[in-house]
Amino acid sequence: MSRLAKELSWVIPTSTKINRGKKSLRDLWEYAVTKGYSKVIIIETWKGNPGRILFTEPGYKTLSILGEAYIGGVKLLVDQRNRERRIVSTLSGDGGGELYRFLEAYLDLPLHDPRRSGVEASLYVEEGEEQRIVFRHGEEELYPVIRVRRWRGVDIERESS
């Protein structure tokens, strides 16, 4: 779970990995508000493995859950041989489907972090019996790759700039 969070922080520009520890949702809300975070992604475990990803934002005195992805499996960089870690400084997206549209709006793609020296990547959601959240640099698949068994989310209206 901690490794998945670390690897996600490498591919989502402007993100910061924090350890939840024994913090409640209320504690996480206070932390997010104090730090000025507009979004908090929580990875929950199931039998010692990543089981669910909650996509939240600070609401009134708590974190509002906007979406949840039940994880069917993950491929991590640490499990791959001869793979180089890639830090993503710019993330755009390409795709369709409900999960992709949610992630595009939630992450407010495209994202760019000028503080990072890294590569440009794209977020894809491969559709099928199970969906896969994939990050790519050109034709190269970056890690993590997340297999989603079930998805439930709300429609997010993107603010026009």
Domain annotation covers residue 78: yes
Q: How far apart are CA 40 and CA 31, in angstroms?
A: 10
Q: Tell which residue, 122, 116, 157, has the closest CA to residue 136.
A: 122
pLDDT tens digits along 40-49: 999 999 998 9
Residue 157 lies in a domain: no
Range of the domain at 94: 2-151
d(CA 67, CA 9): 19
Q: Round to the nearest angstrom and report the end-to-end CA distance of the chain.
A: 35
pLDDT at 160 over 80: no
In a domain, 159, yes or no: no
Residue 140 domain-assigned (yes or no): yes
User: Is residue 156 included in any domain, yes or no?
Assistant: no
Q: Residue 22 to residues 26, 27, 70: CA-CA distances in angstroms?
A: 11, 9, 21
Region at 108 (left for phi over 0; alpha for psi -120 to 50; beta for the rest): left
Of the candidates 127, 108, 146, 158, which has an alpha carbon nearest to the alpha carbon of residue 8? 146
User: Position of tokens 């922080």?
Assistant: 9
pLDDT tens-digit map of 91-136: 999 888 899 999 999 999 999 999 999 999 999 999 888 899 999 9
Mean pLDDT over 132-157 rounds to: 90
CATH of the domain at 51: 3.40.50.10480
SS3 string, 19-46, reads CCCCCCHHHHHHHHHHHCCCCEEEEEEE
Q: For residue 53, is it within any domain? A: yes
Quote the pTM value: 0.90
Q: For the chain, how many structural domains are there in total?
A: 1
pLDDT exceeding 70 applies to what percent of the chain? 96
Asked whether residue 158 is domain-assigned, the answer is no
